[in-house]
């Protein structure tokens, strides 16, 4: 069953058609990667799917509901949660506080009860703090919980962002270049973490330029170029697809060796 179905999605920025009639499905439980050259429209697709940008046309069904026009918080509350290509932690808050901010977004307490500091709020705060610690544990940042997020090494900040997204209890997690800026050993451990996230029952839509990672973690890969899908298949099919090599992989290979 499709958890996410994108139908004929288009995004226009003035004269530029950044996404043109994009249709794709993400099935429950899979890891689907969206690849393609810089400017292909991957982040724009994420923005339109997750409510950060109103598409010019098309539909986005999440759990069979058309979510176009809903605000980002409502979409996240439904279980569609995304991370950002550029690091987006709160730098002047501790790692633990960053997770708590994520948890509060889904907390059941009314702002009124919080203002009055009702006993139920204090109890909830303790539960939330314990949950925040569990999430930090999951991403192996438990020993960094009191450090300012902005002072963490870049790879750990990226991991913290994923942890913040996990705090919102996603059913579908959209990750925009999660390992960019990570070193090879951080990337390898992130790949293992992704398998654990998936084992929790979370479906993943991934945008990533690290082809070792994409080919290693994906069930299916969709390649975008200039806002349109040029190929869709298994990692092996995509790697040997002449159109993908011409538009993206060949060029990357040249860039790596030159
Ligand atoms: N807010 C905006 N206003 C105008 N043009 C935009 C805007 N956001 C993106 N674009 C343009 O839309 C196109 C798609 O950009 P997008 O960021 O989606 O690419 P991408 O596939 O994520 O690239 P990268 O791999 O470099 O992150 C680009 O030509 C970009 O310049
Ligand atoms: Mg992008």
By three-state DSSP, how is residue 225 classified? strand
In angstroms, the Cα distances linking 241 to 37, 101, 147, 233, 244 are 15, 43, 46, 9, 5
Structural domain contains residue 36: yes
Whose tokens are 């099919």? That residue is: 237
Helices and strands counted in the chain (H then E): 11, 10
Half-sphere exposure of 71 (CA within 13 A, CB side): 2
Structural domain contains residue 133: yes
Q: If pLDDT is split at 50, 70 and 90, which confidence band does 257 have?
A: very low
Q: Looking at residue 125, what is its pLDDT?
A: 81
46 CA distance to ligand 2 middle (Å)? 9
- Counting the structural domains of the chain, the total is 1
The answer, yes or no, to whether any atom of ligand 1 lies below 6 A from the CB of 44, is yes
Closest Cα to atom 2 of ligand 1 = 13
User: Using one digit for the tens of pLDDT, what is the confidence trace for 17-34?
Assistant: 999 999 999 999 999 999
Domain limits for position 231:
13-86+93-257
Phi, psi of 70 (to 5 degrees): -80, 155
The span from the CA of 55 to the CA of 166, in Å, is: 26
Q: Residue 48's domain is classified under what CATH number? A: 3.40.50.300
Rounded average pLDDT over 48-55: 97
Q: Looking at residue 127, what is its pLDDT?
A: 86
Structural domain contains residue 79: yes
Whose tokens are 């986005």? That residue is: 60
Structural domain contains residue 1: no
Higher pLDDT, 114 or 129: 129
Structural domain contains residue 252: yes
8 Å CB contact between 239 and 248:
no
183 CA distance to ligand 1 middle (Å)? 25
By three-state DSSP, how is residue 241 classified? coil
The answer, yes or no, to whether any atom of ligand 1 lies below 6 A from the CB of 42, is yes
Q: Taking 70 as the threshold, does the pLDDT of residue 45 lie above it?
A: yes
37 CA distance to ligand 2 middle (Å)? 9
Structural domain contains residue 3: no
The answer, yes or no, to whether any atom of ligand 1 lies below 6 A from the CB of 38, is yes
Q: Taking 60 as the threshold, does the pLDDT of residue 171 lie above it?
A: yes
Q: Where are the alpha helices (DSSP H) in the chain?
A: 42-49, 72-78, 95-104, 111-115, 119-138, 154-167, 184-199, 211-217, 235-239, 242-244, 250-257
Q: Looking at residue 112, what is its pLDDT?
A: 63
Q: Looking at residue 105, what is its pLDDT?
A: 67
Taking residue 53's Cβ as centre, other Cβ atoms within 10 Å add up to 18
The span from the CA of 155 to the CA of 181, in Å, is: 7
Q: Which residues have their alpha-adjacent CB atom under 5 A from ion ligand 2?
A: 42-43, 85
Rounded average pLDDT over 164-192: 94
Structural domain contains residue 222: yes
The answer, yes or no, to whether any atom of ligand 1 lies below 6 A from the CB of 47, is no
Q: Residue 113 is encoded by which pair of tokens?
A: 């009860």
Residues composing the chain: 258
pLDDT averaged over every residue in the chain:
92
Q: If pLDDT is split at 50, 70 and 90, which confidence band does 75 have?
A: very high
Convert 186-206 to b/e letters by CB count within 10 Å (16 or more is b): bbebbbebbeebbeeebbbbb
The span from the CA of 249 to the CA of 240, in Å, is: 9
Q: Looking at residue 109, what is its pLDDT?
A: 57
Q: Looking at residue 156, what is its pLDDT?
A: 94
Q: Residue 254 is encoded by which pair of tokens?
A: 């040249």
Whose tokens are 């300012």? That residue is: 148
Taking residue 74's Cβ as centre, other Cβ atoms within 10 Å add up to 12
Identify which of 41, 53, 174 to mutate to test ligand 1's pocket (most ligand atoms within 8 A of the CB). Answer: 41
228 CA distance to ligand 2 middle (Å)? 15
Q: Looking at residue 103, what is its pLDDT?
A: 85
Structural domain contains residue 7: no
List the Cα angle 43/47/50 in 5-degree steps. Answer: 130
The answer, yes or no, to whether any atom of ligand 1 lies below 6 A from the CB of 85, is yes
Q: Looking at residue 186, what is its pLDDT?
A: 93
């Amino acid at each position: 069953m499709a958890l996410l179905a994108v139908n004929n999605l288009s995004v226009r920025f003035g004269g530029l058609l950044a996404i043109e009639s994009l249709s794709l499905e993400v099935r429950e439980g899979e890891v689907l990667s969206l690849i393609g050259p810089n400017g292909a429209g991957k982040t724009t697709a994420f923005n339109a799917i997750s409510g950060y940008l109103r598409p010019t046309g098309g539909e986005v069904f999440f759990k069979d509901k058309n979510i176009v026009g809903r605000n980002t918080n409502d979409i996240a509350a439904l279980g569609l949660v995304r991370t950002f290509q550029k690091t987006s932690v709160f730098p002047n808050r501790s790692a633990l506080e960053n997770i708590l901010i994520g948890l509060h977004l889904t907390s059941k307490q009314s702002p009124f009860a919080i203002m009055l500091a009702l006993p139920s709020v204090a109890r909830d705060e303790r539960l939330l703090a314990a949950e925040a610690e569990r999430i930090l544990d999951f991403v192996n940042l438990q020993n960094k919980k009191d450090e300012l997020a902005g002072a963490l090494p870049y790879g750990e900040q990226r991991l913290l962002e994923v942890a913040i997204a996990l705090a919102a209890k996603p059913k579908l997690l959209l990750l925009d270049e999660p390992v960019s800026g990570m070193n090879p050993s951080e990337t390898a451990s992130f790949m293992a973490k992704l398998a654990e996230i998936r084992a929790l029952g979370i479906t993943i839509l991934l945008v990533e330029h690290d082809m070792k990672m994409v080919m290693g973690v994906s069930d299916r890969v969709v390649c975008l170029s200039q806002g349109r899908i040029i190929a869709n298949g298994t990692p092996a099919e995509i790697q040997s697809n002449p159109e993908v090599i011409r538009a993206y992989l060949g060029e990357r290979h040249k860039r790596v060796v030159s």
